[in-house]
Structure 1
Amino acid sequence: MTTAAASPYQLTPNLFAVSFGTAGLAQAWTVAADTVGAPSWPGNTLWIAAAAVWLVTLVAYVRNVVAQGRLRTELPDPVLGPFTALIVIVPMLLGIGLAPHARTAGETVFVIAFVLTVLLGGWLTGLWIRVDTALPQWHPGYFLPTVAGGLIAAGCSASLGWTTLAHLMLGYGLICWFILGSILLVRLFTQPMLPPPLLPTIAIEVAPPVVAGNSWFLINGNTLDTGAELLAGYAVLMILVQISMIGTYRRAPFGPAFWSFAFSYAAVVTNGVHWLDVEHVHGQEQLTYALLAVATLAFVVLAARTVLGLTRRTFLPRAPRPEPEPAS
């Protein structure tokens, strides 16, 4: 049997985007169940799948990191370090998926993951201040530790009825989005294009306004107000940007970074489901199912392409070969 020490592959933290995207689609189906009475089994099945994928990924990832001696270099890595936040962000969502079935257990999972998310976000922010990271090394994955962590925590808190914490984390996530978003847009506007393996991370640019919008609907009782409208305005721009990027995305080699699309686009669908509900759109049920069908089909295609890449051994990056020791 092949051991982790002998593995020719380097398991990177962006692999947790698979469980992240699965949880995002589960959330879309759950919101649809609340708004148009969609069946609950797709959402429940996806929540279970997200938990299973997260756990399997965690075990494999930790073994790989330890075996390859990357414990001290993983978090400070300027490219992959921000993705480590997904390890603790995904369980926040899983806790909310569990809460309707086992309230205490769900709250416990959420609180533990929430505390770890805030601590990791603070540590990484301090690290980015201390180290000399060149602007071209930045990519939209830098949104994950604090922007995604804060905005998702806000929505999760609101769904549990913890209004004060929801407001606190909404502010946390929004301010981090305004600051980091400015830096990232300057990087994307003024620096050379991201290297091909990182091109799919530009999909993350669409996530902040729609994740914030989803959280805001949970906070304000699913009503339409100025805050929701302002967030939707920027979301429209970012959706149009994603459409314009289709040709660019085609230049990227298929790998774990492609799962950047999964949660981001699922969050767009979830936001659309909310808007159909608050606007009482004619044909709401049919349009909701159409959005879910597109999101689910895209997820299935992405998952199938991933399985194909795994069977062909092209999906995971190869571990760098150790440099030969100099002759004595």
Structure 2
Amino acid sequence: MAAVRVPPNFFGIPFGLAGLAGSWVVAAGDGNAPSWVGDALLVLAAVVWLAVTVGYAAYTWSVRRAFVADLLDPVLAPFVSLAVITPMLLAAQGLTPRNLTAARIVVDVFLVLTVLFGGWITGQWIYGPLDLDRMHPGYFLPTVAGGLVASATTAVVGQRLLSVLMLGLGLVCWLVIGSLTLNRLFFRPPLPPALIPTLAIEVAPAALAGVALFALNGERIDFFVSLVAGYGLLMVLAQVRLLPAYLGLSFAPTFWAFTFPFAAVATTTLHWIADSRPSGHRVYAYLVLAGITALIGGIAVRTVVAAARGQLLPTAPEPARRDR
């Protein structure tokens, strides 16, 4: 019987749902949304993360060297990091108001795993052959997203020094990997259609840096928040030019690459609206929340439809299995 393949990019599903939950949590904190919506989305993200983790673990346990192959795959390996990054978000947002000690423990455990994976994959990129044409914006995930999410979540649970340390990790990796990624996108052949949705990840580093800085500075717009927001605005505007490429795609699970980056943009925007309080600020907050919910909700509905039709999970050839 053919094995059911659970690819590492499926971890983008709970990651995106956690990002949407974060937007609702921020809106609720500003009095612009009911708190139960964010809580429900956090529970949903946790359940989906657990389901994907169990499915992925079952597949990699039953198929010989499947996990090693994923870790060495130049396209898929960065997505493995989301398995350990997502629980930091869930713990910081969901556990902190209820049990700060438990939140710190979960955040710290998965922070260690995130840093270990980031160190390993950085060493792999240095040691192993790396083809620039196979590079894509998903390379931001292990160290840039990992570092910035770790910074934001440790700030939320009250570990300021650790938050600054992780902010440094994320920002420096953003400078290095961002330069390489843009060089690949500017001067090398276009990404294959399956990877085009990862172009949305280009908006994530600045947005995540903003979220981390807001968490560190008490939710205030300061010099550094404004600094990263300038580049973030450029990357968001660049997405407009990419719309023809996006609209020409057929639906695939890789569409979840759109979800967390734009959720991070939405969350940062909500922080800006809450701090600056322009005239009609509540309307702006509602529009941002409605937009990101419609985007991620639409992708979620389309994913459920694909699953119901048996079109979601790829089927692998009959594998060599572990001896029992």
Partner AA of 1:126 in structure 2: G
2:315 corresponds to which residue?
A: 318
Runs of 4+ in 1 over 3 A off after TM superposition: 6-9, 320-323
Cα distance per residue 1:287-319 (max 9 Å; x no partner): 111111111111211111001111222223332
Counterparts of 2:259 and 2:245, CA distance in 1:
17
Give CA-to-partner distance per residue, 1:22-41, whole Å, 9 cap, x none.
00011111111112352100
- Answer yes or no: is 1:28 the counterpart of 2:37: no
Partner SS for 2:68: coil
Comparing 29-38 with 164-173, which one deviates more in the overlay?
Answer: 29-38
Unpaired runs of 5+ residues, structure 1, are 1-5, 324-328
User: 2:15 aligns to what SS in structure 1?
Assistant: helix
Match for 1:14 among 2, 9, 13?
A: 9
Q: C-alpha distance in 1, partners of 2:235/2:12?
A: 20
Confirm or deny that 1:86 pairs with 2:82: yes
Q: Map of 1:261-276 to 2, 5 A cutoff?
A: 261-276=258-273
The CA RMSD over aligned residues, in Å, is 1.4
Asked if the contact 1:198–1:252 (Cα under 8 Å) also holds between the matched residues in 2, the reply is no
Q: Distance in 1 between matches of 2:61 and 2:255?
A: 25
2:233 aligned with 1:236? yes
Render the CA deviation track for 1:46-96: whole Å, top value 9, x for unaligned. Answer: 010010000011001111122222022111110100100000000111110
Report if the CA contact (8 A) 1:146-1:172 is conserved. yes
Structure 1-normalised TM-score? Answer: 0.94
**Counterparts in 2 of 1:7 and 1:111: CA distance versus 1, 3 Å:** farther
- Whether 2:159 is the aligned partner of 1:162: answer yes
Counterpart among 120, 124, 129 of residue 126 in structure 2? 129
The aligned counterpart of 1:3 is: none
Q: When the two structures are aligned, how many residues end up with a matched partner? A: 318
Matches within 5 A, 1:1-328: 6-69=1-64, 70-96=66-92, 97-320=94-317
Deviations 1:87-122 (A, max 9, x none): 000011111021211222221111111110000000
- CA deviations over 1:214-244 (Å, ceiling 9, x no partner): 1101111111211111111111111111111
TM-score by length of 2: 0.95
Distance 2:133 2:248 in 1: 19
SS class of match (1:222): coil
Q: Which runs of 5+ in 2 are unaligned?
A: none
Distance 1:281 1:108, change over 3 A: same
Deviation digits for residues 168-201 of structure 1, max 9, x if unmatched? 1111100000000000000001111111111101
